[in-house]
């Protein structure tokens, strides 16, 4: 099996026939994520006589070093695993990707992998990742009982507080949402996950991403909002923010429970709460997603690195952990 770059149109031809593809495989999202992070995206095809597998690849320069991956950190591209035709041997795919990486000579390459990991001649470093998911196959009462007692109390409290919910249909909302983002991350003392300009871009691509935004207001003032994407697999919790002044009203719990109800009515099989990351990362958001009834789903991130970059990577991760640690305000 050989690996080589393919055009976006060739990638899209393979994309439309793959039931495993998600909204995060779509060029509309990939190009947007790359633009927001100052990287570039291209497409790697794997050929066995014909094109039998493909994956999107981001490339970025960080402190003068070229890193690449499907996906890369901070690109919010949670489910970008390789797309394989039925019957394609996963081991041959990994072997082909590894050979291609050595030919390109990039010192760092990572790959999301959601299947069993086969043995390969150039084994990568394997790091377990997990995300949270709610199955919507049960009835509403069962889903309600799967939330924690604290989450149910929070939903009831938000309803009693007189919060009103609205599906957003106005692009001007993005400017007001920036205020919520500032309030949310300033409260935690950490940097925002996304650059502010990405929200306008996501709004402009809302049809391709299956975007819906649910917002909560109190007395006409926006106090919280949640962004969700959707495709044939289900819907995805992409982003959310809330106003510190009204945080104790628990609007975020009400938003999420309302989205669960809406997604089930729409026939979505799952509500994917997406990544919590490596073990121990962002404990607060992990607790919140578990309280909603989220169940961990595991996958792997595979790393191929040059020997000299491994200590640098470890040091850089420690720096980011220190830089982005929550601070009391």
Indicate the range of 89-98, 230-239, 309-318 predicted with least confidence.
Answer: 309-318
Name the token pair of 244: 């510190």
pLDDT higher than 80, residue 60? yes
Please state the rounded mean pLDDT for residues 313-322.
Answer: 62
Q: What's the pLDDT score for residue 187?
A: 74
For the chain, list the strands marked E by DSSP: 2-6, 40-47, 51-62, 65-70, 83-84, 108-113, 125-135, 164-167, 212-218, 221-231, 234-242, 270-277, 295-305
Q: What's the pLDDT score for residue 260?
A: 97
The pLDDT confidence band at residue 325, using thresholds 50, 70 and 90, is low
* C-alpha–C-alpha distance, residues 327 and 329, integer Å: 6
On whether the CB atoms of residues 147 and 257 are closer than 8 A, the answer is yes
Higher pLDDT, 224 or 18: 224
Higher pLDDT, 217 or 123: 217
Q: What's the pLDDT score for residue 324?
A: 54
Name the token pair of 113: 């992998």
Q: What's the pLDDT score for residue 17?
A: 85
pLDDT higher than 80, residue 315? no
* C-alpha–C-alpha distance, residues 260 and 172, integer Å: 26
Specify the residue for token string 């507080």. Answer: 161
3-state secondary structure of 304: strand
Indicate the range of 50-59, 100-109, 149-158, 227-236 predicted with least confidence.
Answer: 100-109
Q: What's the pLDDT score for residue 314?
A: 64
The pLDDT confidence band at residue 323, using thresholds 50, 70 and 90, is low
Please state the rounded mean pLDDT for residues 67-72.
Answer: 92
The pLDDT confidence band at residue 329, using thresholds 50, 70 and 90, is very low
- Domains of the chain from N-terminus onward: 2-123 (3.40.630.30), 132-297 (3.40.630.30)
Q: What's the pLDDT score for residue 328?
A: 45
Kindly report the pTM of this predicted structure: 0.88
Please state the rounded mean pLDDT for residues 228-242.
Answer: 94
Question: Phi/psi zone of residue 87: left (φ > 0), alpha (ψ -120 to 50 degrees), beta?
Answer: left
Mean pLDDT of the chain: 88
- The candidate with the shortest Cα–Cα distance to 244, out of 181, 161, 192, 197, is 181
3-state secondary structure of 75: coil
Please state the rounded mean pLDDT for residues 256-271.
Answer: 96
* C-alpha–C-alpha distance, residues 140 and 250, integer Å: 20
Q: What's the pLDDT score for residue 283?
A: 54
- The candidate with the shortest Cα–Cα distance to 198, out of 239, 252, 168, 259, is 239
On whether the CB atoms of residues 129 and 299 are closer than 8 A, the answer is yes
Q: How many CA atoms lie within 13 A of 126 on its CB side?
A: 15
């Amino acid at each position: 099996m050989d690996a080589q770059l393919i055009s976006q149109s060739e990638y899209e031809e393979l994309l439309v026939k793959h039931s495993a593809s998600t909204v995060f495989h779509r060029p509309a999202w990939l190009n947007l994520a790359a633009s927001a992070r100052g990287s570039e995206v291209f497409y790697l095809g794997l050929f066995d006589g014909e094109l039998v597998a493909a994956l999107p690849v981001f490339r970025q320069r960080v402190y003068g070093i070229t890193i690449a991956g499907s996906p890369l950190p901070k690109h919010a591209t949670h489910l970008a695993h390789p797309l394989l035709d039925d019957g394609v041997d996963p081991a041959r795919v990994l072997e082909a990707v590894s050979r291609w990486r050595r030919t390109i000579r990039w010192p760092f390459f990572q790959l999301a992998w959601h299947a069993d990991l086969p043995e390969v001649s150039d084994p990568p470093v394997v790091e377990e990742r997990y995300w949270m998911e709610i199955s919507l196959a049960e009835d509403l009462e069962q889903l309600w009982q799967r939330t924690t007692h604290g989450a149910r109390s929070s939903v009831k409290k938000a309803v009693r507080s007189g919060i009103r919910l609205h599906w957003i249909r106005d692009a001007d909302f993005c400017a007001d949402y920036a205020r919520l983002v500032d309030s949310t991350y300033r409260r935690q003392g950490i940097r925002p996950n996304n650059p502010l300009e990405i929200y306008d871009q996501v709004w402009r691509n809302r049809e391709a991403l299956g975007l819906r935004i649910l917002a909560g207001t109190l007395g006409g003032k926006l106090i919280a909002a949640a962004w969700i994407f959707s495709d044939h697999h289900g819907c995805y919790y992409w982003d959310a923010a809330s106003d510190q002044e009204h945080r104790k009203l628990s609007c975020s719990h009400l938003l999420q429970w309302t989205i669960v109800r809406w997604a089930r009515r729409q026939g979505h099989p799952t509500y994917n709460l997406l990544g919590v990351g490596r073990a121990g990362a962002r404990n607060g958001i992990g607790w919140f997603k578990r309280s909603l009834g989220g169940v961990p789903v595991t996958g792997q991130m595979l790393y191929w690195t040059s020997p000299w970059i491994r200590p640098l990577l470890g040091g850089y991760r420690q720096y980011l952990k220190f830089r982005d640690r929550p601070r009391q305000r």
